[in-house]
């Protein structure tokens, strides 16, 4: 028999006691055997650690003072030994057969640095809300429209490991995805293999001025990187425009909202004459609502 490639799964958790057991079980019950699983408690103040301790003999556990998701992610990534690794959110369980299907895809596509599946939106009680068909991968679209196409259930080729920029409190994951896009091609796996949980109090919910500023700063950082291709450089004004428009969408302060829209349209006014602008706006609204 051919030995299965080792897959490292990492899960940072903070105050996710109501959901962490379901997520852990979803990983441990996979039909893929060659897995090493690391779970790190980022200084939870609920009973997360008590629940995790029950799995002490089945996975690799660590606990530390609260340092935030980005630093916790980096600590876990440094432990990766597998040919592939997966980042599984503490409240977003995998579906059965996810790892087998993703590894099979990666083995058949050796030039792919990351593969991501379709997924289901679930509620706090793990009940189905909506089926989400992921968009086919297009890095230029991702940059131009300031949106992340890969999502939950993604698998990565470990030789392309990248650490998160800890200066981003809210959007370290988006910065990670943009830099990964420069490293190589990603691909959609057209199978529903993961879940994303819609719940109260999550970081992506509501408006936040700090997060708005990070949307702008991320694109400025991206275009300061040394390996930007001419094709991507040609999209800079449109990409900057969209970073301001997205920032406006999450801004809590109405004057900042107006300023962001003005600065976005000033950087690329032609966006208003593109049908894809209105298509993208409608799709973004639809995406937010269906989650």
Domain limits of the chain?
A: 7-197, 209-290
Residue 282 has pLDDT above 90, yes or no: no
pLDDT digits (tens, 9 = 90+) for 60-96: 999 999 999 999 999 999 999 999 999 999 999 999 9
CA distance 113 to 229: 18
| pTM for the whole structure | 0.90
Residue 111 has pLDDT above 90, yes or no: yes
Q: Are 51 and 90 in contact, with CB atoms under 8 Å apart?
A: no
Q: Are 164 and 172 in contact, with CB atoms under 8 Å apart?
A: yes
CA distance 94 to 239: 32
Element (H, E) at 136: none
Choose which CATH entry (3.40.50.970, 3.90.550.10, 3.40.640.10, 3.40.50.2300) describes domain 7-197: 3.90.550.10
Tell me the backbone φ, ψ of residue 265, rounded to 5 degrees: -70, -30
Coil/strand/helix, residue 107 = helix
Burial of 69 (0-12, 13-18, 19+ CB in 10 A): buried
CA distances from 188 to 12, 106, 115, 168, 288 (A): 24, 11, 6, 26, 20
CA distance 174 to 243: 12
pLDDT digits (tens, 9 = 90+) for 13-25: 999 999 999 999 9
Q: For 70, which DSSP code?
A: H
Q: List all residues 6 or more positions away from 189 whose beta carbon is below 8 Å from its beta carbon.
A: 101, 102, 105, 115, 116, 117, 118
CA distance 87 to 83: 14
Q: How confident is the model at residue 108 (pLDDT cuts 50, 70, 90)?
A: very high
pLDDT over 70 percentage in the chain: 92
CA distances from 20 to 40, 53, 68, 85, 240 (A): 11, 12, 17, 19, 37
Token pair in block for residue 190: 């057209």
CA distance 83 to 192: 23
Q: Are 122 and 196 in contact, with CB atoms under 8 Å apart?
A: yes
Name the residue with tokens 């109501």.
Answer: 18
């Amino acid at each position: 028999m051919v030995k299965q490639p080792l897959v490292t799964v990492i899960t940072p958790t903070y105050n996710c006691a109501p959901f962490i057991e379901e997520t852990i079980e979803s990983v441990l019950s996979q039909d893929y055997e060659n897995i090493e699983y690391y779970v790190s408690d980022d200084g939870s103040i609920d009973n997360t650690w008590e629940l995790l301790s029950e799995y002490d003999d089945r996975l690799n556990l660590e606990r530390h003072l609260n340092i935030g998701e980005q630093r916790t992610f980096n600590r876990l990534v440094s432990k990766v030994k597998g040919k592939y690794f997966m980042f599984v959110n503490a409240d977003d369980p995998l579906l059965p057969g996810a790892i087998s299907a993703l590894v099979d895809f990666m083995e058949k596509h050796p030039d792919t640095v990351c593969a991501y599946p379709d997924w289901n939106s679930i509620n706090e009680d793990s009940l189905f809300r909506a089926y989400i068909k992921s968009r086919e991968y297009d890095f230029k679209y991702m940059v131009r429209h300031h949106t992340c196409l890969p999502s939950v259930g993604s698998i990565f080729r470990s030789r392309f490991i990248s650490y998160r920029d800890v200066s981003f409190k809210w959007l370290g994951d988006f910065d990670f995805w943009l830099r990964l896009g420069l490293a190589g091609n990603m691909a959609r796996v057209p199978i529903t293999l993961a879940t994303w949980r819609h719940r109260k109090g999550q970081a992506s919910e509501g408006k936040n001025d700090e997060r708005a500023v990070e949307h702008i700063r991320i694109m400025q950082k991206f275009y300061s990187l040394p390996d930007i291709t001419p094709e991507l450089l040609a999209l800079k004004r449109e990409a900057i425009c969209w970073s301001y428009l997205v920032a406006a969408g999450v801004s809590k302060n109405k004057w900042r909202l107006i300023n962001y829209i003005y600065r976005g349209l000033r950087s690329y006014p032609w966006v208003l004459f593109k049908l894809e602008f209105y298509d993208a706006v409608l799709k973004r609204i639809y995406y937010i609502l269906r989650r």
